[in-house]
Amino acid sequence: MAKSIRSSASGSALVRVEGLELVRGVSPGAYRQTIEDLRGLAPDPADLACSGQEVFAERMRELLGNLHARTGCDDLVLTGGCALNSSWNGRVTTATPFRRLFVPSAPADDGCAVGAAFLAWSEDHPGRAPRGAPLSPYLGSAVSSEALAKLVRFGGWPHVRHLPGTIAARTAELLAAGRIVGWMQGRAEFGPRALGHRSILADPRAADMKDRINERVKFREEFRPFAPAVLHEHGDAFFEGYQESPYMERTLTFRPAVRDRVPAVVHVDGTGRLQSLSDRWSPRFHELLCAFHARTGVPVLLNTSFNVMGRPIVHAVEDAVAAFLTTGLDALVIEDHLFEKEPSTP
């Protein structure tokens, strides 16, 4: 478990809060000395990250406390790069006076285009408010039916099946059997999180699944956790103080009683950056998770982005095939087509 190193360095004094502003807490010379002190300590990167997270949370608690005192509003919308700090997002409604939090699917610079579009719409429609429903994150590139048809026709695949109407059930069978599946459906996600349209999926019940994916598919550091996608109606049974999280934007603590049921998605500190899933947001992914739940009794899937370390999330059919053939993925699902490297029982 990572530990704070602030007792050995003055990191907490580098920045302080004044009202709704962040101001420098030390002189430039003192700042440089703190950096040198840290270098001399040669801290473990995890401990340094832990300390930075603690300071971030303290400053955000002060800022948001001051904001609530000034506005009296219980609803909070967070955007900007700091709104991608899912660990803090999960604590906002318990650590500050705010009672409800909304973070969009693309809160950083990539979301500025959506904000500009909403602003223009509002100026063109004075007095009209946009509908009060979550904005779909599936605004990216669509699966090309032409590219998919050519892949099936000319790819020379020995194990490919077209399964309209049953693709979710069949994929759930593969996942329950321990297969790692690349899952590509509809339009890609807008934002940094894979939300079931460009995802790598696996069974969270296997204790070694995180290591298998890191070693065979993602090729990344072993300490990095994977996210749980959970059926919204079962969220409270798995997470303490459950909050709806459709965009995988907040981290919550798993209830101790269920951690052994889904060890592959429980971080070392007992948390998970969850995606709440409803058929209102992603019907096909919801159908898959329902089928997995019916088969296993577990309403949770391991969900990580469909890419390898250092590469962007796949968008085109060709991207998905390249990732499938150059990693340890066992199967690839594109729309209603199932591609497998080895034949499996129908």
Shared-domain flag, residues 213 and 315: yes
- Please indicate, yes or no, if residue 238 is contained in any of the structural domains: yes
Shared-domain flag, residues 152 and 99: no
**252 strand-pairing partners:** 272
Question: By the 8 A CB rule, do 138 and 186 touch?
Answer: yes
Residue 153 makes CB contacts below 8 A (sequence gap 6+) with: none
Residue 156 CA: distances (Å) to CA of 54, 245, 344: 53, 41, 18
- Please indicate, yes or no, if residue 118 is contained in any of the structural domains: no
pLDDT digits (tens, 9 = 90+) for 155-178: 998 899 999 999 999 999 999 999
Mean per-residue pLDDT over the chain, rounded: 91
Residue 91 CA: distances (Å) to CA of 61, 103, 184, 240, 243: 10, 13, 32, 11, 10
Q: Residue 303 above 80 pLDDT? A: yes
Shared-domain flag, residues 12 and 67: yes
- Please indicate, yes or no, if residue 183 is contained in any of the structural domains: yes
CATH number where 296 lies: 3.90.870.20
- Please indicate, yes or no, if residue 136 is contained in any of the structural domains: no
- 211, HSE (Cβ side, Cα atoms, 13 Å): 4
β-pair type (337-340, 331-334): antiparallel
> CA geometry: angle at 273 spanning 12 and 169, to 5°?
170
For residues 291 and 293, give the distance between their C-alpha atoms in angstroms, rounded to a whole number. Answer: 5
- Read off the tokens for 112: 């500025």
> What pLDDT score does 10 carry?
45
| Secondary structure (H, E, C), 130-173 | CCCCCCCCCCCCCCCHHHHHHHHHHCCCCCEEECCCCHHHHHHH
- Please indicate, yes or no, if residue 96 is contained in any of the structural domains: yes
Q: Look at residues 47, 81, 103 and tell me which one is the last residue of a structural domain.
A: 103
Domain extent, residue 34, equals 6-103
Q: What phi and psi values does residue 337 have, to the nearest 5 degrees?
A: -100, 135
Shared-domain flag, residues 96 and 169: no
Domain count, the chain: 2
Shared-domain flag, residues 89 and 162: no
Shared-domain flag, residues 193 and 79: no
- Read off the tokens for 124: 């063109």
- Read off the tokens for 219: 């090729």
Question: By the 8 A CB rule, do 147 and 318 touch?
Answer: yes
- Please indicate, yes or no, if residue 205 is contained in any of the structural domains: yes
Shared-domain flag, residues 166 and 291: yes
**332 strand-pairing partners:** 182, 339
pLDDT digits (tens, 9 = 90+) for 18-72: 999 999 877 878 878 888 887 887 778 778 888 889 989 999 999 999 999 999 9
Query: 7 pLDDT band (50/70/90 cuts)?
Result: very low
Query: 13 pLDDT band (50/70/90 cuts)?
Result: low
Closest CA to 205 of 259, 133, 128: 259
- Please indicate, yes or no, if residue 125 is contained in any of the structural domains: no
Shared-domain flag, residues 161 and 274: yes
Shared-domain flag, residues 227 and 288: yes
Closest CA to 246 of 304, 172, 173, 196: 196
Question: By the 8 A CB rule, do 26 and 13 touch?
Answer: yes
- 254, HSE (Cβ side, Cα atoms, 13 Å): 24
For residues 205 and 120, give the distance between their C-alpha atoms in angstroms, rounded to a whole number. Answer: 47
Shared-domain flag, residues 225 and 288: yes
DSSP 210-275: HHHHIIIII---TT---EEEEEGGGHHHHBTT----TTS-EEEEBPGGGGGGSGGG--TTSEEEEE
> What pLDDT score does 3 carry?
62
pLDDT digits (tens, 9 = 90+) for 334-344: 999 999 998 77
- Please indicate, yes or no, if residue 200 is contained in any of the structural domains: yes
Q: Residue 279 above 50 pLDDT? A: yes
- Read off the tokens for 240: 């303490």
Residue type, 275: Q
Q: What percent of the chain has pLDDT over 70?
A: 95
Residue 294 CA: distances (Å) to CA of 126, 155, 168, 289: 48, 34, 12, 9
Predicted structure pTM score: 0.90
Shared-domain flag, residues 69 and 164: no
> What pLDDT score does 315 carry?
93
Shared-domain flag, residues 331 and 249: yes
Query: 6 pLDDT band (50/70/90 cuts)?
Result: low
Query: 206 pLDDT band (50/70/90 cuts)?
Result: very high
For residues 207 and 30, give the distance between their C-alpha atoms in angstroms, rounded to a whole number. Answer: 46
